[in-house]
């Protein structure tokens, strides 16, 4: 199945946009487009780069996808196979300069890879959802060379982050993919250069004069940074946070997603500019608390000191022709504008890290994002991940025996998850649209929730945390252990607020959320794949779907919100493979309802 954007794809120039709007320089060049590829058994005694390749592939689309044009659509890389890429590279003149360093960036490679230039290893990376960078200045000193990437991906047979990928997909589990799935690009930087800029808005709604943003400029060597935000400018040593005053700042919100332009440059000891980058930031605060003056009141979400409705939709981020990779930037924007047009104020990004342009568009469109951490671990047991959805079962997730029950017996796998947790916060922590972290979902690879909630809180004290969405909530002593949100999943039964639970969460100071519900499935002929059909409740046609959604809101979600539920997330935005409970078909051609029929708070 192809999308309209996939049909219009230029395979010679896919995804030409700058892949990192959060940190921009002019001297860059994409390496997307045609590469050679081959798949070989990992145990074969072969060189790092095969002598013969199987054919051509369009990067950044995984070989399992139609848009890759590899001929391997639907044939996932196996755990005992290695995927090899090769491209002969000539560095463009505007990037290859004698006084600069040459950086090679990968948006994401699923899951582990080794990168070589002319047969010599220049770097390696593990973790299929996070970008990484390699300094290849010496490797490309002549301005050209052969770039190869060797990739392995165990998918759900290994403990690494995989999200909803499975080698044998079905129901809520989706087709596996592998290899390069986000933009590959060159960037020229000075010898001393900015490596990142972190923003932490400090918004005091009671005293607008004190509004400021805490900025930390990171660099590869100590230097003096000059930071300009709007009309305010400060100087600071790199690596040290500095407060930039923004009195009476224009605050970011869904109604006014205003972002300040940011310019950062580094100076040498003579005051000369040696590097310059452009960025942006949104000024906003987000918290969970009862209404002012009601210490025992119902906790809810507050954005910039005002109550903020959190009425959202579950967004899986899968495409029929690109799987994890959207066909184009326009396709990505289409989904986000559709979320807004449907009337939702928020989306929950489900167990996936998107390309950075996704968060940039959410920032500029004013869409609130609940960001899941990406799940991993061993095989999941249905008694842990599915049974609690039918009858109340809550398991403890601490200790060796229970870690094994949750698929987390492997110590190295737990260490990888905690590494990736820190990576996620570092990558997305400056995005104003990301307002909530979701640590675990439905027991998928869950462990040590109380401790990890504290670790996440230490990494980012500014955002509310959902420690567990679905079931197996672990409670805890204070927000550093139990977070700020209790999230329930409700399928196959009415959405009802348990008065005892609501009272207990109110006493803890936690907001109550319906983190998933709905799942009404409506097949649309001509816009779905053949095979198994899955959903939580079938409807016959669009009229019945609209009527049932209206009934859900009138009889269940509306009363639940009035009883204290502060957030809700409908399952889901689009169909994915055989899971046909989307408000849109998988190819995005049919919107099953014109607007989600909720009553605004």
Q: What is the mean pLDDT of residues 461-470?
A: 97
Q: Quick one: which of 4, 60, 147 has its CA closest to 357? A: 60
The answer to whether residues 411 and 352 belong to one domain is: yes
Cα–Cα distance for residue pair 95/101, rounded to 1 Å: 9
Whether 570 is covered by a domain: the verdict is no
The enclosing domain of 475 has a CATH number of 3.20.20.80
Domain stops at, among 520, 544, 563: 520
Q: How many residues are recorded in the chain?
A: 601
Whether 299 is covered by a domain: the verdict is no
The answer to whether residues 385 and 467 belong to one domain is: yes
- The pTM of the full predicted model, rounded to 2 decimals, is 0.97
pLDDT digit string, tens, across residues 221-236: 999 999 999 889 999 9
Weakest-pLDDT range from 372-376, 459-463, 532-536: 532-536
Contact 540, 512 (CB under 8 A): no
Q: Kindly give, in sequence order, each residue whose CB lies less than 8 Å from that of residue 174, ignoring residues fewer than 6 positions away.
A: 164, 165, 166, 316, 318, 323, 576, 577, 579
The enclosing domain of 28 has a CATH number of 2.60.120.260
47 has a pLDDT exceeding 80: no
The percent of residues above 90 in pLDDT, for the chain, comes to 92
The answer to whether residues 358 and 214 belong to one domain is: no
Residue with tokens 């994915």, as numbered in its chain: 576
The answer to whether residues 181 and 223 belong to one domain is: no
Give residue 531's pLDDT band: very low, low, confident or very high (50, 70, 90).
confident
Q: Quick one: which of 462, 214, 278, 261 has its CA closest to 364? A: 261
Mean pLDDT of the chain: 95
Q: Quick one: which of 431, 164, 441 has its CA closest to 324? A: 164
The enclosing domain of 210 has a CATH number of 2.60.40.10
Cα–Cα distance for residue pair 521/539, rounded to 1 Å: 6
Cα–Cα distance for residue pair 194/22, rounded to 1 Å: 12
Domains in the chain: how many in total?
Answer: 3
Q: What is the mean pLDDT of residues 427-453?
A: 98
Q: Note the pLDDT of residue 296.
A: 86
Cα–Cα distance for residue pair 593/578, rounded to 1 Å: 19
Whether 107 is covered by a domain: the verdict is yes
Whether 170 is covered by a domain: the verdict is yes
| Structure-token pair, residue 225 | 């940074």
3-state secondary structure of 7: helix
**Burial group, residue 142, by CB count within 10 angstroms (0-12, 13-18, 19+):** exposed
Cα–Cα distance for residue pair 267/219, rounded to 1 Å: 12
The answer to whether residues 209 and 228 belong to one domain is: yes
Q: What is the mean pLDDT of residues 482-501?
A: 94
The answer to whether residues 478 and 495 belong to one domain is: yes
Q: Note the pLDDT of residue 46.
A: 56
Domain stops at, among 189, 223, 253: 189
The answer to whether residues 334 and 479 belong to one domain is: yes
Q: Note the pLDDT of residue 183.
A: 98
Cα–Cα distance for residue pair 154/265, rounded to 1 Å: 42
Q: Are strands 212-219 and 242-245 parallel, antiparallel or unpaired?
A: antiparallel
- Which range of residues forms the domain containing residue 55? 4-189
The percent of residues above 70 in pLDDT, for the chain, comes to 99
Domain stops at, among 173, 189, 205: 189
Q: Quick one: which of 166, 149, 148 has its CA closest to 157? A: 166
pLDDT digit string, tens, across residues 290-309: 998 888 899 999 999 999 99
580 has a pLDDT exceeding 60: yes
The answer to whether residues 202 and 330 belong to one domain is: no
The answer to whether residues 122 and 235 belong to one domain is: no
65 has a pLDDT exceeding 70: yes
Q: What is the mean pLDDT of residues 452-461?
A: 98
The answer to whether residues 156 and 47 belong to one domain is: yes
The answer to whether residues 109 and 27 belong to one domain is: yes
Q: What is the mean pLDDT of residues 260-267?
A: 97
The answer to whether residues 435 and 330 belong to one domain is: yes
Cα–Cα distance for residue pair 588/527, rounded to 1 Å: 9
Whether 300 is covered by a domain: the verdict is no
Q: Are strands 28-30 and 33-41 parallel, antiparallel or unpaired?
A: unpaired
Q: Quick one: which of 39, 32, 2, 38 has its CA closest to 17? A: 32
pLDDT digit string, tens, across residues 323-374: 999 999 999 999 999 999 999 999 999 999 999 999 999 999 999 999 999 9
Whether 529 is covered by a domain: the verdict is no
Q: Kindly give, in sequence order, each residue whose CB lies less than 8 Å from that of residue 415, ignoring residues fewer than 6 positions away.
A: none
Q: Note the pLDDT of residue 601.
A: 40
Q: What is the mean pLDDT of residues 136-163?
A: 96
Q: Note the pLDDT of residue 97.
A: 74
Cα–Cα distance for residue pair 200/203, rounded to 1 Å: 10
599 has a pLDDT exceeding 90: no
409 has a pLDDT exceeding 80: yes
Whether 465 is covered by a domain: the verdict is yes
Cα–Cα distance for residue pair 139/565, rounded to 1 Å: 57
Q: Where are the alpha helices (DSSP H) in 375-493?
A: 382-385, 400-405, 411-428, 449-459, 479-482
Burial 351-379 (b: 16+ CB within 10 A, else e): bbbbbbbbbbbbbbebbbbbbbbbbbbbe
542 has a pLDDT exceeding 70: yes
The dihedral sign for the CA sequence 441, 442, 448, 453: positive
Greatest Cα pair distance, the chain, in angstroms, is 73
Whether 292 is covered by a domain: the verdict is no
Cα–Cα distance for residue pair 299/291, rounded to 1 Å: 7
Cα–Cα distance for residue pair 463/286, rounded to 1 Å: 6
């Amino acid at each position: 199945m192809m999308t309209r954007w996939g049909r219009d794809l230029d395979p010679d120039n896919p995804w030409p946009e700058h892949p990192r709007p959060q940190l921009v320089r002019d001297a860059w060049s994409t390496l997307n487009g045609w590469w050679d590829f081959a798949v070989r058994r990992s145990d074969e005694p072969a060189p790092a780069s095969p002598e013969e390749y199987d054919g051509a592939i369009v990067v950044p689309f995984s070989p399992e996808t139609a848009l890759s044009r590899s001929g391997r659509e639907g044939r996932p890389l196996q755990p005992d196979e290695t995927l090899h890429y090769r491209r002969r590279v000539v560095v463009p003149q505007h990037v290859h300069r004698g006084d600069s360093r040459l950086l090679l960036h990968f948006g994401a490679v699923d899951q582990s890879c080794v990168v070589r230039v002319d047969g010599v290893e220049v770097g390696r990376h593990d973790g299929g959802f996070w970008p990484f960078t390699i300094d290849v200045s010496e490797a490309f000193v002549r301005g050209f060379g052969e770039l190869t990437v060797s990739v392995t991906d165990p998918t759900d047979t290994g403990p690494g982050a995989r999200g909803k990928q499975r080698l044998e997909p079905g129901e809520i589990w989706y087709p596996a993919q592998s290899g390069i799935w986000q933009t590959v690009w060159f960037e020229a930087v000075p010898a001393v250069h900015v490596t990142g800029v972190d923003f932490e808005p400090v918004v005091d709604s009671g005293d607008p004069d004190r509004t400021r943003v805490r900025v930390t400029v990171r660099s590869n060597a100590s230097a003096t940074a000059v930071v300009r935000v709007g009309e305010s400018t400060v100087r600071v040593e790199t690596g040290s946070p500095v407060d930039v005053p923004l009195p009476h700042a224009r605050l970011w919100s869904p109604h006014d997603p205003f972002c300040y332009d940011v310019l950062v440059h580094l100076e040498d000891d003579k005051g000369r500019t040696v590097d310059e980058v452009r960025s942006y930031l949104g000024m906003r605060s987000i918290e969970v608390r009862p209404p002012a003056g009601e210490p025992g009141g119902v906790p809810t979400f507050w954005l910039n000191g005002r109550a903020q409705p959190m009425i959202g939709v579950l967004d899986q981020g899968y495409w029929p022709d690109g799987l994890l990779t959207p066909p184009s930037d326009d396709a990505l924007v289409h989904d986000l504008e559709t979320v807004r047009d449907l009337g939702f104020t928020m989306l929950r990004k489900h167990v996936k890290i998107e390309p950075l342009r996704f968060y940039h568009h959410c920032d500029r469109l004013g869409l609130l994002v609940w960001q899941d951490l990406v799940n991993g671990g061993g095989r999941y047991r249905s008694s842990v991940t599915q049974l609690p959805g039918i009858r109340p079962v809550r398991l403890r997730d601490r200790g060796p025996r229970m870690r094994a029950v949750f698929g987390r017996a492997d110590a190295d796998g737990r260490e990888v998850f905690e590494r990736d947790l820190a990576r996620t916060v570092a990558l997305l922590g400056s995005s104003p649209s990301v307002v909530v972290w979701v640590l675990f979902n439905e027991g998928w690879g869950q462990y040590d929730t109380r401790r990890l909630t504290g670790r996440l809180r230490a990494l980012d004290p500014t955002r509310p945390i959902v420690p567990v969405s679905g079931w197996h909530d672990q409670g805890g002593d204070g927000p550093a252990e139990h977070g700020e949100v209790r999230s329930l999943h409700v399928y196959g039964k009415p959405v009802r607020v348990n008065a005892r639970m609501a009272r207990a969460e109110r006493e803890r100071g936690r907001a109550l959320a319906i983190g998933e519900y709905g799942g009404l499935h409506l097949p649309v002929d001509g816009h779905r794949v053949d095979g198994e059909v899955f959903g939580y409740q079938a409807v016959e046609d669009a009229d019945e779907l609209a009527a049932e959604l209206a009934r859900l809101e009138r009889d269940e979600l509306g009363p639940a919100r009035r009883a204290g539920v502060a957030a809700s997330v409908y399952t889901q935005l689009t169909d994915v493979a055989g899971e046909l409970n989307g408000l849109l078909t998988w190819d995005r051609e049919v919107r099953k309802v014109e607007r989600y029929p909720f009553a605004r708070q």
